[in-house]
Every structure is written in C-alpha cells, then in structure tokens.
Chain A
Amino acid sequence: MTMTPTAVSGEDHAATPGPRLRSTFGWSWLGVVPFFVFAFLFLIGPLLYLILGAFQNSDGAFTFDNIVALGGANIVASFSLSIRLSLLSAAMGAIAGLLLGHAVVLGGLPKWVRNAFMTFSGVASNFAGVPLAFAFIATLGRLGLVTVLLRDLFGINLYAAGFNLFSFFGLALVYLYFQLPLMLLIITPALDGLKSEWREAAEILGATRRQYWQMVGLPVLTPSILGCFLLLFANAFGTLATVYALMGSGFDVVPIVLFQQIRGNVLYNPNLGYALAVGMISIMALTNILYLLLRRRAERWQK
C-alpha cells in the first residue's frame, strides 16, 4: 500500500528533533499497522463495499442502473425532503446563532452571560437523538406543558391554529435545539476575530453602524457564516434518531428510507440501498469539502 514508501522516506525526516532509535530503520511503519488494519476493516472496507455495490447488479456485473434508480419519484422526493429540512434547520440555526453570538460576544452583556451560554451550548449541541424528541413532546406535543398552558391560561390553541410538532416545521423547531448551540460554538471564534480597531477606524472615518456592518463586518464574516451553515446542514442531514422517535418510520427523510430498506420493511433491494448510501455520503462529502474551502478563506482574518 501507500504506507511503505512514505514510511521509509518519513524515517529520516522524523528523527530531526527526536532521538534516533536503534534497530528501527525501515520498520517504523509497523507501529501504525493496527490503526490502518482497524480503519480498513471497519471504516474504509464497508464504505468501499457500499460504493462498489452501488455500481453492480445482483449478479455482480457492472451497471449504472442503481444510480439511475435514484432518479425514481420516491427517492427524489425523500432526498428533496431531507435537503429542504436540512436547509431550513441550518438557516434557522445559523441566523439565530449569529444573532445570539452577536448579542453575547459583541453586545456588551456581562461576561457571565457569555460563559453560561457557551457552557450550555456545549451540552445542548450534544443533546440530540431520542431524549430530545421526548423533551419536545412533553413541551409542545398535543398534551405538552406549553400547549396546555397556552390553551388554559391564554385561550390560544396551538394545534387549532395550525401548529403541529409532528410536521416538517415542527421538526425544524426541534432541530434548532442542537443547531443553535452548535452555531454559537463555531461562530464565536469568528466574532471574536472582528478587531475593534476596524470598528474604530470605520467610526473615525464617519461610518454609521449600518455602514460598518455592511462594508466591513459582514464581508469579513461571510465565509465563516457560510462554512458554519454547511456544517449545520450536514449535521441535520445525517440526523435519524430524533426523526424516528418523533415521527416513527413514516417521515421519509433519506436516513429513514435507508433504515427501512435495511430492516427489510419495504421492498428490499440491496443494490438500490447501496446507491442510497452513496448518495448520502456524496452529499455529506460535498458539504464538508465546501466547508473546508470556506474555512481556509475565513482563517485569513483570524490571525
């Protein structure tokens, strides 16, 4: 594999600051073999298997049929649903997170407010999955506390007014609970990177607040904001447990469709399943590559 040549040339390079260890010449690559074997067996192997399977028919012959089958109405609909849901929840998370970040980082609030939000966000961004769904059912479900309180105290019937937790917008609201904290955590370094000198310079030159944001603040922040948006998108796109606990298996986002395929609850076609998986990986990979490119650009201002 690629390991051997790099490992050998890495040998002379490696020893510059460190000690030259005896009897390891040419064999030091052995030290990383367990890692590569493990990663190959349980990460890369399974992925390659899926990717190759996506281009084979049930007899193992090469074909594009599975990829073409991704264009079927059902699958296009579920990709579209997933993408729309992820876009909406990422947009909500990004905007809310940016506003909150602006408030706690630049808004002149006491320091403890910022610390409290940051600590809480560390927890809330990891509080996803099934328990999160339970929390929202207890809050905004048909018998949830807020639903009942609004009805009994203020005479506002949320569900009669068209709100439904178990819907597209309801899900987006639930996702916000981990998207907003994530946005706050990852946008804060960029907000901290806005130098006060820039603002002072703008003020001295007679810029209004609005002009400062329009011509200095936002242009500097834009790559960071877009990058964070992409991370939130990927975060939402891969979410399965929250949807499943909230909606059951009837809400056809892509992860649920694949989950159902694997369980064999619907017409089972493994090769189409592979294609679905490859579709998911492609979207995740594309999102992350774009994110990395944007982050490179964003980092120009953070030194």
Chain B
Amino acid sequence: MKRSIPILPAITAIVAASYFLVPLFATFYFSLKMTRGTLSFASYQSVFQSDEFLATLGYSTLASLAAIVMGAVIIVPTAYWVRLKLPKLRPLVEFISLLPLIIPAVVLVFGYIRLFGSNSYLPMTSTDHGTNLLLVFGYVIMSMPYMYRAVDNGMAAIDISTLTEAAQSLGASRLRTIATVIFPNVRASIIAGSFLTFSISLGEFVLPSLLNRPAFGPYLVQLGQDRAYEPAALAIMSFGFTWGCMVLMQAFANKKPGQGVLPRLPFLSRKERRA
C-alpha cells in the first residue's frame, strides 16, 4: 500500500525549503539593487573598497587563527594525556570543556572585564596587547567544546597507546611522540574543529564590542545602522562563508588518517545540484 508521492511530507518539505531559501534569495536580490534601475554588484564593490572592512576582517581573521592555534596547543596534548595516562580525570576535563556551552558570551566577557580590569592583579585590559590576548583567550574558551570533542573523537579513532609504545621503543621523546606521531594522526580532526572555531569567532560581536577591539562583528553592526544594501551583501557573503566552513569541517571530520586531502564528497555534489 505504498503511495508513490507522499503528499503531506512533500508539502511540509516544500514549505520548510521556502522558509529557508526565500530569505537567502531576497537578501541576494536586495544586495544587487544598489544602483537604481539595474541589478549590479555595486554593493559588493562598495564593501570591498572600504578600508574599514578590510582592516576589521583582517583583525578578526588574525584573532580567529590565533585562537585556533592556541586551542590546538592546549587541547591536543591534554586530550592525549588524559586518554593515555589519566582516564580518571576524563569526566572532569570533559565537564570543563563543555562548560562554555552554558556560559553566554556576555557573561564570560563581563567576568574578564572585572577580573582582568585595570585595578586587578592581572590588568590585561589596560594594554592593547593584553586586551587582544584576552579576546583570543575568550575565543579559545568559546570554541573549546567543539575543539575538544573533535580532537577527542579523532583520538578515539586511532590506537594512541600502541602508537605511543611504538614511538617510544624507537627512542622518541614524549614531545617528539606528540609532535610527529600523534599530531599528524589527528590533524584532520583538528582542522575540522578549526573550521567550526573560525565560523564562530570571525563575525562574533559581543566579545570585541565589550573589549573595544576593532573586530568584524562590531563593524557589521555599525554598517547595519549606516547603510542599506551593503549589509545584505555581507549577509550573503557571510552565509557563503559559513557554508564553506561547514563543508570543509565535515570533509575533514570524515577523513581517515592517511587519506588524500580532498575526500569524496557525495553530499556536496547532491547539494550543488539543488542550490
């Protein structure tokens, strides 16, 4: 008694697809209307010609990259060590790494401002460099749940104790084991976590806004108040950027150690046909 066209599910899917696609299409169309009477990419040009756009985007890119590197340097050895030597600490480490999920960014940065303010023991916010560092640390914390889980899943997929044993019987020091054996084997997981971190921190608004940093998020908000068409162009670009990050993240998350750089992407081709 199978019907060939399930009507109700089809309608549901179409309604949902329109809800998802109409705003994207409308925003794209809106972004093309900057010059009166014709459709053009003028708003995109205007965005790219703005010095402030490039400066803030550059700043946020740098901050995000720094957060990725710092996050990897802290989390990879920890995840390795906990799996290898201290499995009893695992629930605690996992709990701490998931804790940022329940801490809204505004609360976290409030704590930073009070704890590292100009009259505290560690007055990080009184210098530019200190504040930049604080922003990066904030992003490391905010992305920790995703980074830790990505890396830990990666470690679960390889036999770290055998690898460590092999490296040590060949005379490798502990640091060398981590750097040349463990790290390359979980590289794909780290990269997967990195793309997620990147998509979270690049346009993030709350931290830089309250720390007074010239980052991309606050610039976006300002632009939204001053302009009409450029925000639409940026929304489209930002959607494309998020999409790119997620596709690359999935690609790397599914990659096995030793596999080629470009894994098979059956879901990608399907999706492209659709989009």
Which residues of chain A have a CB within 8 Å of any CB of chain B?
A: 2-3, 6-7, 9-11, 13-15, 17-19, 21, 24, 28-29, 31-32, 34-36, 38-39, 42-47, 49-50, 53, 96, 99-100, 102-104, 106-109, 112-113, 115-117, 119-120, 122-124, 126-127, 129-140, 143-146, 176-177, 180-181, 234, 237-238, 240-241, 244-245, 255, 258-259, 262-263, 270, 273-274, 277, 280-281, 284-285, 287-288
Contact = CB atoms under 8 A, between A and B. Distances in A.
Nearest to B71: A38
Contacts of B203: 129-131
Contact of B104 (A15, A99, A284): A284
B224 interface: yes
A112 B27 CA distance: 26
Given A3-B89, A127-B242, A262-B210, A138 B104 contact: no
A116 B232 contact: no
Nearest to A256: B106
A126 B29 contact: no
Given A43-B100, A177-B23, A132 B235 contact: yes
B235 A273 contact: no
B108 interface: yes
Contact of A138 (B101, B235, B274): B235
B114 A138 contact: no
B256 to A, nearest CB: 20
A285 B102 contact: yes
B102 A288 contact: yes
A138 B8 contact: no
Contacts of B204: 129, 241
Interface in B80-138: 81-82, 84-89, 92-93, 96, 99-115, 137-138
Contacts of A38: 74, 137, 140
A43 B115 CA distance: 11
Interface in B231-246: 231-232, 234-236, 238-239, 242-243, 245-246
A273 B110 contact: yes
Contact of B99 (A43, A244, A273): A43
- Interface size class on chain B is 35 or more
* SS class, residues of chain B in contact with chain A: helix
A5 to B, nearest CB: 10
Contact of A124 (B3, B20, B101, B114): B20
A29 B81 CA distance: 9
B220 A107 contact: no
A70 B165 CA distance: 57
A29 to B, nearest CB: 7
B22 interface: yes
B110 A109 contact: no
B102 A234 contact: yes
Contacts, number: 290
Q: Which of A31, A47, A109 has the most CB of B within 10 A?
A: A31
Nearest to B108: A46
A274 B111 CA distance: 9
Contacts of B165: 18-19
A139 B22 contact: yes
A268 to B, nearest CB: 12
B68 interface: no
Contacts of B267: 115, 119
15 contacts: A19-B168, A32-B89, A34-B78, A53-B114, A102-B9, A108-B9, A109-B10, A113-B13, A123-B246, A127-B239, A135-B23, A138-B27, A238-B105, A240-B104, A245-B221
A42 B141 contact: yes
Contact of A130 (B19, B22, B104, B205): B205
A99 B137 CA distance: 40
Nearest to B225: A248
Contacts of B30: 138-139, 144-145
A49 B12 CA distance: 49
B204 to A, nearest CB: 7
A107 B144 CA distance: 37
Contacts of B110: 46, 50, 258, 262, 273, 277
B62 interface: no
Given A107-B8, A244-B205, A280-B104, 4 more contacts: A42-B140, A102-B9, A109-B9, A115-B267
B271 interface: yes
Given A21-B168, A131-B239, A244-B221, A255 B106 contact: yes
A181 B242 CA distance: 14
Given A46-B108, A100-B16, A240-B206, A134 B85 contact: no
A10 B87 contact: yes
A43 B22 contact: no
A115 B250 CA distance: 13
Given A10-B85, A21-B168, A116 B274 contact: yes
Contacts of B246: 119, 122-123, 126
Interface in B1-24: 2-3, 6, 8-10, 12-13, 16-17, 19-20, 22-24
